[in-house]
Amino acid sequence: AGAAAALLGAFALVLGSLLLAGPPVERYAGADAVVAADQEVSYTAKPWGSEPRTVSAYLPERVRLDRALVARAAAA
């Protein structure tokens, strides 16, 4: 039972790594242009009586581009 659990855990780790890994850079070699969105979001707040504070966080999923922006870039 212990060996099966270890094997299942290793399989889950490999599968998770494959699902979260980014695409290989070589796939963009033939592209005329590569457009990507910022993968980080920032928020600035000014609490009452305090200096402004900016907090940033990386987004867990890939940011998608708006279809209208893609169409405008393709037409250019």
pLDDT in tens, 18-38: 777 766 778 788 888 887 778
Could you say which DSSP state residue 54 is in? E
Residue count of the chain, please give it: 76
Q: Is 43:54 a contact under the CB 8 Å cutoff?
A: yes
Q: What is the rounded distance in angstroms from the CA atom of residue 68 to the CA atom of residue 74?
A: 10
β-partners of residue 54 are 44
Which of 3-7, 26-30, 54-58 is predicted least confidently? 26-30
Over residues 31-48, the mean pLDDT reads 85
Of 73 and 21, the one with more pLDDT: 73
Interacting residues of 32 by C-beta distance below 8 A, sequence separation 6+: none
Q: Is 52:45 a contact under the CB 8 Å cutoff?
A: yes
Q: pTM (2 decimals)? A: 0.39
